[in-house]
Amino acid sequence: MNLHELPMIIFTVFAQMSVGAFVALGVINVVGTPKYGRETIERVTDPAIYAIGPTLVFGLIASMFHMNDITNTLNVLRNWDTSWLSREIILGVGFAGLGFLFAIMQWFKIASHTIRQAIALLAAIVGLGLVYSMSMIYASVETIPAWNTWSVPVQFFATTFLLGALAVGAAILIHMSIRFRSSDNGTPAAPATDSTVDGTDGDGKGGVGLLQKTKLQARSMTRERLTVDSPDAKAGVQIIRWVAITSVVIGVIIFINYIFHIINLATGVPAAQLAAEEYQSGFFFVRLALLGIAAVLLAVFTYRTANQEFKNPKTLTILMMTALVLAVVTEFMGRSVHYDTLFRVGM
């Protein structure tokens, strides 16, 4: 493991996971709302929103430790017009700010649904720009053959969508498990309706304060009775099924990308061939093995959700969480190998 680059590994992996989760939630809302209704989709997906911000902030803080002097961050920003690093920092802060703004607006139901979605779309665009900037910091370095290739952006975006989808799936399942358990234990439940939960009549009018809105929102999301035939459960089943299938497909793309990348390096200049040797280590093969195990777990997950009643998501939650943990570990390992391939032409 490349411990010297650990701050950057943490930053890139967790920042990409945050962006991927935000994009995944956006896709779920766009595709799921016409079928299940906006209120149902929001009840199922909103809990995942509030984990994105802390994850990105953690990554940003970790990245600062890569600099000998944290105040150098301000100097880096001056070259935004020519430096991918400057753009990365600006877009990272922009994504974190917009994501936080959207989470607050969504939680308190501030402004109209259209305005909130516009903020979410802008945050997603900035987030994807952040991932692209990350990849171009490496792909634009012409003196390092292992980085100066289209394979780096492919890998970074694959990490983004793989971890993001898994994180959303895990968050949804954990939340659904809590609601199932509350129902089984006879916990008092809020009525399962598609009306707003902010104490208003849906047009923004009403005398309920922000604190009361927060209490009502939390009660609706964590104590509302959840049954197998409820709209929330049906929507959740479809979401996590597609999350699992999508993640397996992305895992295959990662394998294919590595094949082409390694072949390209092995037939290149001496520096590229040295980099190719890093992909022949036991460390890298363990990375692939863990990725394969995660894919198998997701295949099992998809099979179970497709072939049995969704009575209690506890077992499926364990499978999804295990797949997520394995995926994060294997992406850390893959990013470590990425930094290990820093062999310059002529050196």
* Domains of the chain with bracketed CATH: 3-189+225-340 (1.20.1630.10)
**Quick one: pLDDT at residue 286?**
95
Query: Which amino acid, 120?
Result: A
**Quick one: pLDDT at residue 190?**
45
**Does residue 246 have a pLDDT over 50?**
yes
**Quick one: pLDDT at residue 13?**
93
Instruction: Report helix angle 84-108 to 113-139, nearest 10.
Output: 160
> Contact 255/163 with Cβ under 8 angstroms?
no
In the chain, the percentage of residues whose pLDDT exceeds 90 is 42
Distance of CA 151 to the CA centre of its chain: 20
**Does residue 183 have a pLDDT over 60?**
yes
Cα–Cα distance for residue pair 237/11, rounded to 1 Å: 31
**Quick one: pLDDT at residue 119?**
93
Average pLDDT, stretch 317-343? 93
Instruction: For residue 146, give the 3-state DSSP assignment.
Output: coil
Q: How many CB atoms lie within 10 A of CB 73?
A: 16
Cα–Cα distance for residue pair 109/116, rounded to 1 Å: 8
Residue 184's pLDDT band (cuts 50, 70, 90): low
**Quick one: pLDDT at residue 106?**
86
Residue 227's pLDDT band (cuts 50, 70, 90): low
Does 14 or 315 have the greater pLDDT score? 14
Average pLDDT, stretch 331-335? 96
Does 233 or 58 have the greater pLDDT score? 233
Which whole-number Å values give the CA distances from 121 to 38, 46, 192, 285, in the listed order? 16, 16, 29, 38
Q: What is the pTM of this model?
A: 0.85
- The lowest-confidence range among 255-264, 268-277, 304-313 is 304-313
**Quick one: pLDDT at residue 56?**
64
Average pLDDT, stretch 262-269? 95
Instruction: For residue 2, give the 3-state DSSP assignment.
Output: coil
**Quick one: pLDDT at residue 315?**
78
Cα–Cα distance for residue pair 312/87, rounded to 1 Å: 45
Instruction: Report helix angle 113-139 to 151-184, nearest 10.
Output: 140
- Residue partners of 240: CB distance under 8 A and separation at least 6: 169, 172, 173, 301, 305, 316, 320
100 by Cβ neighbours in 10 Å (0-12 / 13-18 / 19+) ranks as middle
**Quick one: pLDDT at residue 164?**
92
Task: List the Cα angle 249/250/256 in 5-degree steps.
Answer: 95
Q: How many CB atoms lie within 10 A of CB 155?
A: 23
Q: How many CA atoms lie within 13 A of 179 on its CB side?
A: 28
Cα–Cα distance for residue pair 212/324, rounded to 1 Å: 35
136 by Cβ neighbours in 10 Å (0-12 / 13-18 / 19+) ranks as middle
The 10s digit of each residue's pLDDT in 62-95 is 656 655 555 555 666 677 777 898 898 889 888 8
> Contact 173/226 with Cβ under 8 angstroms?
no
> Contact 124/213 with Cβ under 8 angstroms?
no
- Residue partners of 16: CB distance under 8 A and separation at least 6: 131, 134, 156, 159, 160, 163, 164
The 10s digit of each residue's pLDDT in 14-47 is 989 999 999 999 999 999 999 899 889 988 888 7
**Does residue 234 have a pLDDT over 90?**
no
Mean pLDDT comparison of 68-82, 147-161, 179-193, 291-305, highest-scoring range: 147-161
Residue 191's pLDDT band (cuts 50, 70, 90): very low
Average pLDDT, stretch 152-179? 91
**How would DSSP label each residue in 166-215?**
HHHHHHHHHHHHHHHHHHHTT-------SS-SSSS-SSS-S---HHHHHH
Average pLDDT, stretch 149-156? 97
Cα–Cα distance for residue pair 338/12, rounded to 1 Å: 12
**Quick one: pLDDT at residue 152?**
97
Residue 238's pLDDT band (cuts 50, 70, 90): confident
The 10s digit of each residue's pLDDT in 93-150 is 888 888 889 888 988 889 998 999 999 999 999 999 999 999 999 999 999 999 999 9
> Contact 344/276 with Cβ under 8 angstroms?
no
Cα–Cα distance for residue pair 180/202, rounded to 1 Å: 27
What is residue 111's DSSP assignment?
S
Does 235 or 155 have the greater pLDDT score? 155
List the structure tokens of 35. Answer: 């079928």
- The lowest-confidence range among 129-133, 183-187, 330-334 is 183-187
